[in-house]
A and B are shown apart, each in its own frame.
Chain A
C-alpha cells in the first residue's frame, strides 16, 4: 500500500503494553502490505492474478477480501471495481479493511480508545486522550493546510476519496476514463473498508454519486464538487 499510517492509543496502559499493541498493529499492516501489494510480484494478489495460485488455495483473508469486493461491486452498481485497472487490484478495499481489522483487534486487546489513520482514512474508537470525542478534520481539496469540515465522534470510520492535488484520478470503470464532477467525497460509517469503497465509487459516479450517497441509509457523506460546492448529509456528525 505504501502509505503512512499513524496510531494514537488513548488508553492509559503501561508503556510496554502500548508498545506491544502498536507493534502488533504495524506488524499486521506490514503483513497485509506484503500479501496484498500489487507492487511486489510475489504477493498473494499478484500470484493469484497471474494464475500461479488457485483461488481455492488462497488464504482465507484473500478469499474474504475478494468476496467483499464482489459484494461492493454489486452494491455500487459496478462503480467500485477491483478490476478497474484491467488487472486484479483490491487495494481500494484492502487499505480500509486492514485498518478496520487492526482497530477491531486493538479493541479486543483492551485498547478501546484509539485513532488509526491509514493514509487519510480514519477509524476512531472510544474517546480521545482528553476524554472527549475524537475530532477529525476533512482536508480542504484545494488548500492542503485547511479543513473544510470537522467531524466529531466516538466510533466512526471515515474515508475520503477524490482528486488529489497531485492529480491522481479515480477512474470511472464504465467509461474507462478519469471521473469528473466530484473533487472529494467523504463517507462516514461503521466499517472503514466499506466507507472507503463507497467514497471511491461515488467519485467514479461523478455528480450522480451525490444522489446515490443520499440513498445510503447507514452511511453519512460530505461532498466537494469540482465547482467548489460543499454538500453533506443533514445528520453528519459535525463538531460543535
Chain B
C-alpha cells in the first residue's frame, strides 16, 4: 500500500516538473509547431454518442470557448506545490518538417446533431489557422438563427477560432447542440491538420 502511494506521489511530482517546464518559452514554441503531438480519439463505431479529443500540445494563446469570456488577466493559481526537481526538458523534437507556408484546407468530419449535420472547414497557412467556416448549418427558422449566431461567433478570418488558434480551452457547462457539434468537427479538423 505504501509503495503504491509512493508511486503515485512520484508520478505527481514528475508531472508538476513537466508543467513548469512546459511554460519555458523555447519548449512552448517547439510544441506549438509540432501538431504531431496531438492525438485524437475518434468515436467508436456503434457508439455515436461517445466522442473525445485530447490535445496534449500546449496552446500558448489564451483562449475561451465561451464567446462572452475573454481571458485578460491571469487567473488565480492553485497553491499546490510545483517542484522543479531533477527533470531536464524533453529533447527538442522539432528538427523534422518545418511547417510550409502554403495555404491548405482541412475538412472536419460531419457531425450529426439535433438540427441536422454540419462540418467545419479550416484553412491553414503552415500551422496557423487563417479561416474557418461551418458548412451545413440550418438556414431557416429558429435553428437558422442559431446557426447564424454560431457562424458569427466562431467563423471567418477574424472570428474567435482564428483569433485563438484553438477550438477551445475553457469548457461550457450546459453547452447546447449546435456549438457542441461545431466544436467537435473543428477539433477533428485541427487534429487532421496536424
Contacts and interface: CB of A to CB of B under 8 A. Distances in A.
Given A9-B54, A145-B150, A154-B78, A130 B59 contact: yes
A150 B66 contact: yes
B98 to A, nearest CB: 20
B149 A144 contact: yes
Contacts of A25: 52
In this complex, the interface size class of chain A, counting residues with CB under 8 Å from chain B, is 35 or more
Interface in A72-114: 108-113
A136 B77 CA distance: 15
A155 B174 contact: no
A110 B179 CA distance: 31
Contacts of A122: 171, 173
Interface stretch (B16-24, B102-110, B116-124, B125-133): B16-24
A190 interface: no
Interface string A1-27: 111111111111101001101110110
B169 A147 contact: no
Interface string B21-34: 11100000001000
Nearest to A148: B68
Contact of A4 (B19, B55, B184): B184
Contacts of B56: 9, 11-13, 15, 18
Contacts of A213: none
Contact of A131 (B19, B31, B39, B54): B19
> Lowest 7 CB-CB distances: which A-B pairs, in order?
A137-B66, A110-B11, A160-B174, A2-B49, A144-B176, A133-B75, A135-B170
Interface of A: 1-13, 15, 18-19, 21-23, 25-26, 29-30, 33, 108-113, 115, 117, 120-122, 124, 126-139, 141, 143-147, 150, 152, 154-155, 158-160, 162, 164-166, 184, 186, 239-240
